[in-house]
Structure 1
Amino acid sequence: MNVFGFAGWSGAGKTTLIEQLIPRLVARGLRVSLIKHAHHSFDIDKPGKDSYRHREAGATEVLIASDRRWVLMHELRGETGPTLDEQVAMLSPCDLVLVEGYKAAPIPKIEVHRPALGKPLLHPGDPHIVALAADAPLPGPLPLLDLNRPDEVAEFLCTLMENGR
């Protein structure tokens, strides 16, 4: 499976760009999955629901399934969480795994950058960043993609995959 990341400061537009890319990549016939790193405690379950009550009672894993989707929730309960490689291995086979976050991961990445945020660029310190997606011109040696043109970014990703990157 091809694994490709998107890194950038909060508010730069990573989620929006990925949301725009997925249907474009799927339309090209690719099966796409996503791993999103959350920097805080999160919960997809709702208090009062059976699954929530079972986790609160101490279950390590709760799997909820219907005829439309399924989800497996795993409580770490003090254990170390899975690495990015372990998370990728948990996914069903697909053509492309998009990764949001995991700034330090040694995977090819596009840095999403908005100069108006006033944050420094990440790419000078990360050799795995292969391009920038920005909403303004930026100097530098990396390819510059227009953050407001997701078709351009999708084309770039597909070209990288075709070239075995």
Structure 2
Amino acid sequence: MNSAKTFGISGWSGSGKTTLIEALIPLFTARGLRVSLIKHTHHGFDIDKPGKDSFRFRAAGASEVMLAGEQRWALMRELREEPQASLTELLARLSPCDLVLVEGFKSAELAKIEVHRPALGKPFFHAEFPEVVAIASDAPLVSDLPVLALNDPPAIAEWILQFLKLA
């Protein structure tokens, strides 16, 4: 099992989760932390292309196909009839690191920030998920939880580091 600290960023589609994470990663790596990320998607996806050898191998029935090159490697696993992997199972597959950021997985039992933009017209969800420990918003809010300025990634990074006792 990966002994990294794990922290989630959740919110409705279009709230700015990916943009926030993209801004946080270099702030964490600048402090010497090795950061990994798990992103959940509700939509089917494929990183492969029809006609490529790796696509053909999966289509032929291979359970896993690994692509390896000078710059990176990628492992694709076909679930076929298996259930979707749990966050715990996915975390166990990561290489050792200091911090794993998790995008999505709203109902997972891990501390997370709810990214909320009132202009989207979507409700808060933190009342349903006690693992939400703070809210990042682009507008002033009144909440029992800490409210962080969504447009201030350095302050959010510092808050996360303090929360995880990594600072």
Identity, % of aligned positions: 61
Correspondences of 1:1-165 after superposition (within 5 Å) = 1-162=4-165
| CA deviation profile, 1:92-139 (whole Å, cap 9, x unmatched) | 011110000110011000000000001111112211101000000111
Separation in structure 1 between the aligned mates of residue 149 and residue 69 of structure 2, nearest angstrom: 40
What TM-score results when the alignment is normalised by the length of structure 2?
0.95
Letter in 1 for 2:66: L
Runs of 4+ in 1 over 6 A off after TM superposition: none
1:163 deviation in Å? 7.0
Separation in structure 2 between the aligned mates of residue 71 and residue 163 of structure 1, nearest angstrom: 29
Letter in 1 for 2:46: D
Q: In structure 2, the residue corresponding to 1:124 is in which secondary structure? A: coil
Decide which moves more: 90-99 or 155-164. 155-164
Letter in 2 for 1:147: L
Which runs of 5 or more residues in structure 2 are unaligned? none
Separation in structure 2 between the aligned mates of residue 97 and residue 20 of structure 1, nearest angstrom: 15
Decide which moves more: 2-11 or 154-163. 154-163
1:81 deviation in Å? 2.1
Number of positions where the alignment pairs a residue of Structure 1 with one of Structure 2: 164
1:55 deviation in Å? 0.7
Separation in structure 2 between the aligned mates of residue 54 and residue 141 of structure 1, nearest angstrom: 52
Which runs of 5 or more residues in structure 1 are unaligned? none
